[in-house]
Amino acid sequence: MKKPTTYFALLLLVALFASCKDGETYAEQKNKERKAIDAFIQRDIVVRDEDGTVVCNVGKVNPISEEQFLNQDSTTDLSKNEYVLFSNSGIYMQIVRKGVGEKLSRAKRRASSAASWSSTFWATASSSATMSIIGTRVPTS
């Protein structure tokens, strides 16, 4: 009768060690991603194609808070390469051209937010703003 118990214990031991992995955890991957985005933002970025032609010059990003963004009439200063960091989502966004017309009402924002995300808030009734989004950073809090 010892053999089935011994085999079961051996199988359990093998399963225990087989389930342990030395790979990165999800938290470690998110931390690595956050550091990569922060490093990208701190550099002067120039994207070139295979011929060396400049495709996009991002430059050094100057992040601003949502409060400063609202104080600037929901715009970013392109000459300073400002990007607003939305703390609830970790998204960096630059408003290249503000939309025209009236801002969407709270009811329309809520209705459209089910199908979209927070940038809908900055859209206008007649046209949406032109923006560029760098990437996301998971909030640390």
What pTM did the predictor assign?
Answer: 0.53
Q: Are 64 and 85 in contact (CB under 8 A)?
A: yes
| Rounded CA separation 93/64 (Å) | 10
Please tell me the predicted confidence (pLDDT) of residue 141: 47
| Rounded CA separation 93/74 (Å) | 11
| Rounded CA separation 38/140 (Å) | 13
59-113 pLDDT, tens digit per residue, is 888 999 999 999 998 889 988 989 998 888 888 888 888 778 787 777 776 666 5
27-49 pLDDT, tens digit per residue, is 999 899 888 888 888 888 788 88
Beta strand segments in 9-141, E: 45-48, 54-59, 62-64, 82-86, 91-97, 130-136
Tokens of 47: 């994207």
Q: What are the φ/ψ torsions at residue 43 (nearest 5 degrees)?
A: -95, 160
Beta bridge partners of 85: 92
